[in-house]
Structure 1
Amino acid sequence: MMNKLWLVSLVSVGILSGCANTTSTSTSNFVDRFPQQGSELPYSVLRGDLIDGKTNQAFEIRNGGFGSAMTGHPSISNQFYALTDRGPNANHTGEYGKGKSFPVASYVPRIGLFEVASNGEINLVKSIFLKRPSGSLISGLPNTSALGGTGETPYHANGKPVLVDDSKPYNKDSNPIKLDDYGLDGEGLVALKDGTFWVSDEYGPHMVHFDKNGVEIGRINAFKEDGRTEFNLPAVFQHRRANRGMEGLAMTPDETTLVGIMQSTMANPNKAAQKSDITRIVTVNVINGETEQYLYRQEKAENANSEISTLTTNKFLVIERDGSFLFGGPKKANPNAQKQVYRIDLTTGTRLSDIAETQSVTRDESHGLMIEGLTLEQYVVKNGWDALAKKGIQPVNKTLVIDMVKEVAYPHDKMEGLWIIDEHHLGVLNDDDFATWSTKGKLEQKYLDANTVDSNQLYIIEADLMGQ
């Protein structure tokens, strides 16, 4: 059962980075009255003409989709921003190889501004469409291989490839498959006091700075040859696992340092290393470009770190989850589904830049810190965390703050958004995948149980976020 929601002294609200102040609506006006079972975000229908692969009936693709990340409005306490990813998609193998079906290929990734009413009802205030520096709309289509593209060929729902000009036949030179180096699969979101945003994604990964209207004004990634970047991530981040890139993004209270977390173990140096429990956190000083890396140890291999949110300069909340459904959904019911929020402290983890090089410890331009010729990912798989500790490398300490399965019988597979409202209240949001699922490449409606279609659902939980 969810703990009873309660009012906290408003004096505490301003302590947390990213928490709203009280210039608009006081916390009590919506937190105290918020429904224990959560509240659904509004959605529109993108298309309803496709046939469900299981029922053979028409089903809805919804927008929805505002669950890849969330963050509080910097100055209005009952408003939050939420991010979509690249749009509805599903695995598909067609005439041009393995890839993704994009049933709404023209979809534009966007940031939604939402407001919570005093009765808990949630309204969409506006959508901010993401744009190139020129002001033209970006897409959610994959990047080219030069920017980390993993060969995901985009297809329409009818199985035809997405082409530069769909009105003409495919031609490798004059009308090739359409890719987009500005395309984003957004997963992390920061809203700054000046009205601008930072978004991290699963493609590059890229960290992109947008102005208040959604126009790109800056970019950070691991590709030094990308002329759009002023600063770069360490090259090791080019080895992100496909579809498991930089899932969470936060900013320190002074707004000088971005903090990103990778969803899962990277394919460093190859896929054999990626099925593990070691993930990386990276910090980037946006003033001078300096970076630092830390390690995070997951509870089990191939879990997902789906969000990171700021408490203080060094303390953050992190989502760790698996991909199961408590009540089954399109999979088997899993009573042991893991949907948890941990508090971490970067000062407890080893700064990888502090590790001195020796005969057995070296650094590689592409693969980062190496031990006995192995990447950190390989070394943990082969020798374990205790062996890594003997080399002087420790992951950040973490403390369980909220178990959403125990709190609210959390039914969703993807818990991906955190909103730090104040020291004792946390908003949690799921990614509903635009209410779609796929089985063996066939699109279908996404259900949580036999009767409930998945949707973006906001929960507000009472907890001691700071650990005081």
Structure 2
Amino acid sequence: MDKKTYKSAYATTQCGNSSSSANLSTSQSIASDARDKFGDTIGGLGSAIAFDKKSWKYKNGAYQGLVWGLPDRGWNTQGTQNTQTRIHKFSASFTPVKATLADPASPNLQLSYLDTLLLTGPDGTPLTGLDPTDTITYPGFPDLPLATYVGNGFGQNGTGGARVALDTEGLVLGDDGTFWISDEYAAYIYQFDSNGKMTKAVRTPDAFIPRRNGADSFSADSPPIYDPDFEITPKDPTSGRGNNQGLEALTASPDGKYLYTMLQSATIQDGGSSSKKRRNTRLLKYRVKDEKTTLEADYVVQLPVLSTGRVASQSEMHYISETQFLVLARDSNAGQGAEKTESIYRNADVIDISNATNVFGTAADSFGGQIASKDGVLKSGIVPVTYCPWLSYNNNNELGKFGLHNGGEQDSKLLNEKWESFAMLPVDKDDKIGWSDRQNEDEGKQYYLVSFSDNDFITQNGYINFGQNKYVDASGNNIDTQVLVFKANIPKGANPL
């Protein structure tokens, strides 16, 4: 396997047959109490973002285009509730500037809210973020997770009801105006039409499907806000994805022929019940350019193990080439509003699948099928993908250029805890700042790598239920959605867009 080098102004890695680099180019934030056109708080945007590639232009010193942001299941720090699943649309304008520690720059990325698309199930019924405790079947669909609620699903009077439940985490824009979304509850991939109606659900291998008491069980042990003492038995699935460890990552090849998705960490049977044993997660490759969505590959990804002994779970991935991808891996409970202020690992890393074992079609894909022991030891004979640490979000020499920091005081400039999204934009040849230190063409091309944080809808001035219910998060915090933009050198031969 040839080496390629990924570079940044402060980080370089060689992985497979490539090399890359990057430096921080901007920061921005969205207020914690911003609201959409339906009156609800705009939060959780960093769960996934996607650029409308055709919309992006460079003109008069600025990049301008459209970005879609996918919230997850809604405000749930005090229990899941009946928020309808949605996608937000923004216009963005990014003006590259020079910044140093001695002369920090002001935020140079502007985001303007444009619209919100509400998502519905196959029959047009609104989707929900409530924890599912049942299933429902529609013609042409696999069993879907179903949440049955009392009252209005927000803890108030109502007629009750049942809705398909999603905890949305990954987003890909189809060339035909459709949306592909990956989910944590079922560990499924879904397709929605341009009006937000579900048209397809892709069930992942049986090994991924959460099971309890011998049956599919899509609950993530996340009680509703109106019944905080509710318990699912057993608490953890006996096999399949762990609670809140479903399909966090979703990306596509530029031609739209392939989708790639990855579990946040190992399945229960592969060590997923322990934060110190859940290293061996799985990456799936689907062919999607036909009526049938066909699984072609299932690879093992060994996630980083931190100095604490805990595994850095992954939160997003981005296609780079047929064999290489970026992966966003991070620690937890460190950042603005969190228990600690200093994170020890928030990285955009590189993986290469060239030499990895494809376990698709083996017993590893069956219910309870294993690629590792319950202690997290990879089975002999299975070669994982090559994993190469690369770009750290936590570099204070870079963060300081925009007044941000990792560690230190709990203030509004402290980096947020959760980073869960990627998007990329090529550096334009007329961009005199971005193009100024361009490497030789033989060394690759430069791109801006954009990442949004997930603020968990934490605010003291929040609204749910189409603006009818005000909420105050019990943490006492207001966590804005932060945005970072890095400039990265991606190796020759790569085609991320």
**Conserved in 1, the CA contact under 8 Å of 2:32 and 2:457?**
no
1:317-336 matches, cutoff 5 A? 317-326=326-335, 329-334=337-342, 336=343
1:79-94 matches, cutoff 5 A? 79-90=66-77
How far off its partner does 1:253 sit?
A: 2.4
For 1:139-175, what per-residue CA distance to the aligned partner results, in whole angstroms no more than 9, with x for missing partners?
212223448999999799xxx9768x9346xxxxxx6
1:45-444 matches, cutoff 5 A? 62-77=41-56, 78-90=65-77, 100-102=79-81, 105=82, 107-117=83-93, 118=95, 120-146=109-135, 166-167=157-158, 179-180=162-163, 182-221=164-203, 233-238=204-209, 239-268=240-269, 272=273, 275-286=277-288, 287=290, 288-291=292-295, 292-300=297-305, 301-326=310-335, 329-334=337-342, 336-353=343-360, 365-368=366-369, 375-378=370-373, 381=376, 384-385=377-378, 388=379, 391-406=380-395, 407-408=398-399, 409=405, 411-422=415-426, 423-435=446-458, 443-444=473-474
**Conserved in 1, the CA contact under 8 Å of 2:26 and 2:485?**
no
How far off its partner does 1:464 sit?
A: 1.7
**Conserved in 2, the CA contact under 8 Å of 1:276 and 1:377?**
no
Counterpart secondary structure, 2:208:
helix
Query: Structure 1 residues 273 and 115 mapped into 2: Cα distance closer, same or farther (>3 Å)?
Result: same
The aligned residue for residue 229 of structure 1 is none
Q: TM-score, normalised by structure 2?
A: 0.65
**Conserved in 1, the CA contact under 8 Å of 2:43 and 2:457?**
yes
Q: TM-score, normalised by structure 1?
A: 0.68
**Conserved in 2, the CA contact under 8 Å of 1:303 and 1:322?**
yes
Query: Structure 1 residues 151 and 258 mapped into 2: Cα distance closer, same or farther (>3 Å)?
Result: closer
Q: Which amino acid aligns with 2:322?
A: T
How far off its partner does 1:243 sit?
A: 1.1
Relative to structure 2, which stretch is displaced further, 316-325 or 118-127? 118-127
Q: Kindly, what percent of the aligned residue pairs are identical? A: 23
Aligned length: 362
How far off its partner does 1:304 sit?
A: 1.8
How far off its partner does 1:431 sit?
A: 0.3
For 1:295-323, what per-residue CA distance to the aligned partner results, in whole angstroms no more than 9, with x for missing partners?
11111244221001112222211100011
For 1:74-133, what per-residue CA distance to the aligned partner results, in whole angstroms no more than 9, with x for missing partners?
311232211011110025xxxxxxxx343xx3x222111222125521111211111223
For 1:334-363, what per-residue CA distance to the aligned partner results, in whole angstroms no more than 9, with x for missing partners?
3x43110012122232111387xxxxxx55
Query: Structure 1 residues 455 and 285 mapped into 2: Cα distance closer, same or farther (>3 Å)?
Result: same
**Conserved in 2, the CA contact under 8 Å of 1:115 and 1:122?**
yes
**Conserved in 2, the CA contact under 8 Å of 1:317 and 1:342?**
yes
How far off its partner does 1:44 sit?
A: 4.7
The aligned residue for residue 463 of structure 2 is none
How far off its partner does 1:213 sit?
A: 1.9
1:1-12 matches, cutoff 5 A? none
Unaligned runs of 5+ in 2: 1-7, 11-22, 57-64, 96-107, 137-142, 210-239, 400-404, 407-414, 427-445, 461-471
**Conserved in 1, the CA contact under 8 Å of 2:250 and 2:261?**
yes
How far off its partner does 1:376 sit?
A: 2.4
Query: Structure 1 residues 189 and 262 mapped into 2: Cα distance closer, same or farther (>3 Å)?
Result: same
Counterpart secondary structure, 1:108:
coil
Q: Which amino acid aligns with 2:113?
A: L
**Conserved in 1, the CA contact under 8 Å of 2:272 and 2:278?**
no
For 1:429-456, what per-residue CA distance to the aligned partner results, in whole angstroms no more than 9, with x for missing partners?
100111259xxxx942464xxxxx3211
The aligned residue for residue 97 of structure 1 is none
Counterpart secondary structure, 2:474:
strand
The aligned residue for residue 490 of structure 2 is 465
**Conserved in 1, the CA contact under 8 Å of 2:271 and 2:372?**
no
Q: Which amino acid aligns with 2:456?
A: D
Q: What is the distance in 1 between the residues matched to 2:147 and 2:127?
A: 17
Relative to structure 2, which stretch is displaced further, 264-273 or 394-403? 264-273
Q: What is the distance in 2 between the residues matched to 1:401 and 1:282?
A: 22
Counterpart secondary structure, 1:67:
helix
For 1:382-422, what per-residue CA distance to the aligned partner results, in whole angstroms no more than 9, with x for missing partners?
xx45xx3xx22121112233100014235111000101112
Query: Structure 1 residues 46 and 126 mapped into 2: Cα distance closer, same or farther (>3 Å)?
Result: closer
Q: What is the distance in 2 between the residues matched to 1:350 and 1:236?
A: 17
Q: What is the distance in 2 between the residues matched to 1:314 and 1:343?
A: 10
Q: What is the distance in 2 between the residues matched to 1:4 and 1:262?
A: 31
